[in-house]
C-alpha cells in the first residue's frame, strides 16, 4: 500500500499544526525549545513513521522478506533524548530546569508518530491533553503546593560587620532552614571605623521562611537595611 501525495501532505501539515500548538505554549515562556523546535520534531517524527510503515513496500515483493514497521519508529523515542537533554540544565548549580520542555518534546514526537501512522484522532487528542497539562496544571500545581514550594530568592542586606558579623548571619540563616547558594560582599564606605558592607545573597528556601528570616534579621543591631525578591 502506497500513500497518495495528498495523504502525505495532509499528515505532514497536521503534524506541523500539532507541534506548533505545543511549541507556542513553550515559546511564550521564552524557552529555547519553542515553536520551530516542536514543529520540526513533530513533522520529522511523522515522516519517519510514514517511511517506516510504507517506505519499504517494494522489498515485500521478495520471498522471505518480513517488514517490522515499529523498528524504525521506535528509534524516534530513544533518539529524541539528545534534544531533550539539550533543554535540561542546572541553574545556579542547584536547580534543575527544563524537564517539562524535554518531556514536551518527547510527547510531541509521539504525536508525530501517531499522525504519521494515520491515527489522526489519537494525535489530536494527545495534543489537546498535552496543552492542558502544560498550560493549566502549572497554576494548579503552584496553588496546591504553595506552602511547600522551595524557590530561589535574592536577598540584599546593608550591614555593619563589626556589630553583626557574617557568622551571625550564616547561623541565623541555617537556623531558619535557608540554604545559601551564592554570596557577594561589597564594601561601600571607608570613611568611618564601622564601614558598611552590602551583601547580595542568592538563597534557596520556602517563601514563608524568607519572610520570617527578613523580619528576624532587620531588628538585629548592625543591620541598616534589607530587601528581598
pLDDT tens per residue across span 92-103: 444 456 777 888
Within this chain, do residues 57 and 80 fall inside the same structural domain, yes or no?
A: yes
Q: How far is CA 212 from the centre of its chain?
A: 29
Cα torsion through 9, 11, 14, 16, rounded to 10: -80
Within this chain, do residues 82 and 20 fall inside the same structural domain, yes or no?
A: yes
Residue pair 99/133 in contact (Cβ under 8 Å)? The answer is no
Percent of the chain with pLDDT over 90: 11
Work out the pLDDT band at 16, boundaries 50, 70, 90: very high
The residue out of 114, 144, 174 marking a domain boundary is 144
Q: Which of 217, 108, 110, 221 is nearest to 173 (CA)?
A: 217
Within this chain, do residues 11 and 81 fall inside the same structural domain, yes or no?
A: yes
- Domain, as residue range, for 190: 149-228
Please tell me which residue, 51 or 152, carries the higher pLDDT value: 51
Within this chain, do residues 96 and 131 fall inside the same structural domain, yes or no?
A: yes
Please tell me which residue, 132 or 171, carries the higher pLDDT value: 132
- Dist CA 6 CA 216 (whole Å): 70
Tell me what the mean pLDDT of segment 114-130 comes to.
90
The residue out of 93, 110, 144 marking a domain boundary is 144
Q: Does the pLDDT value for residue 228 go beyond 80?
A: no
The residues with which 180 forms a beta bridge, in sequence order, are: 203
Within this chain, do residues 110 and 156 fall inside the same structural domain, yes or no?
A: no
Q: Does the pLDDT value for residue 137 go beyond 70?
A: yes
Domain count along the chain: 2
Within this chain, do residues 86 and 107 fall inside the same structural domain, yes or no?
A: yes
Q: Does the pLDDT value for residue 13 go beyond 90?
A: yes
Mean pLDDT of the chain: 77
Whole-number pLDDT of residue 166: 75
What predicted TM-score, i.e. pTM, was given to this entire model? Answer: 0.56
The residue out of 118, 144, 170 marking a domain boundary is 144
CATH of the domain at 156: 3.30.70.1150
Within this chain, do residues 162 and 53 fall inside the same structural domain, yes or no?
A: no
Within this chain, do residues 96 and 136 fall inside the same structural domain, yes or no?
A: yes
Within this chain, do residues 98 and 130 fall inside the same structural domain, yes or no?
A: yes
| Helix, strand, coil fractions of the chain, as percent rounded to 5 | 60, 20, 25
pLDDT tens per residue across span 22-79: 888 877 776 666 788 888 889 989 988 888 888 776 777 777 777 777 777 777 877 7
Within this chain, do residues 200 and 139 fall inside the same structural domain, yes or no?
A: no
Amino acid at each position: 500500500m502506497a500513500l497518495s501525495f495528498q495523504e502525505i501532505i495532509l499528515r505532514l501539515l497536521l503534524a506541523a499544526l500539532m507541534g506548533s500548538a505545543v511549541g507556542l505554549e513553550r515559546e511564550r515562556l521564552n524557552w529555547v525549545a519553542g515553536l520551530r523546535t516542536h514543529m520540526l520534531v513533530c513533522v520529522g517524527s511523522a515522516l519517519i513513521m510514514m517511511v517506516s510503515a510504507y517506505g519499504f513496500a517494494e522489498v515485500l515483493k521478495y520471498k522471505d522478506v518480513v517488514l517490522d514497521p515499529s523498528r524504525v519508529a521506535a528509534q524516534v523515542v530513544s533518539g529524541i533524548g539528545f534534544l531533550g537533554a539539550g533543554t535540561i540544565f542546572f541553574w545556579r548549580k542547584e536547580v534543575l530546569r527544563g524537564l517539562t520542555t524535554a518531556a514536551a518534546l518527547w510527547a510531541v514526537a509521539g504525536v508525530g508518530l501517531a499522525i504519521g501512522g494515520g491515527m489522526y484522532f489519537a494525535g489530536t487528542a494527545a495534543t489537546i491533553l498535552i496543552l492542558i497539562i502544560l498550560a493549566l496544571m502549572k497554576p494548579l500545581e503552584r496553588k496546591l503546593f504553595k506552602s511547600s514550594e522551595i524557590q530561589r530568592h535574592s536577598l540584599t542586606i546593608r550591614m555593619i560587620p563589626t556589630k553583626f558579623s557574617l557568622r551571625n548571619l550564616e547561623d541565623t540563616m541555617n537556623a531558619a532552614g535557608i540554604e545559601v547558594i551564592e554570596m557577594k560582599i561589597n564594601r561601600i564606605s571607608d570613611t568611618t571605623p564601622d564601614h558598611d558592607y552590602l551583601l547580595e545573597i542568592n538563597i534557596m528556601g520556602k517563601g514563608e521562611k524568607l519572610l520570617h528570616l527578613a523580619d528576624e534579621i532587620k531588628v538585629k543591631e548592625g543591620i541598616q537595611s534589607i530587601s528581598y525578591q
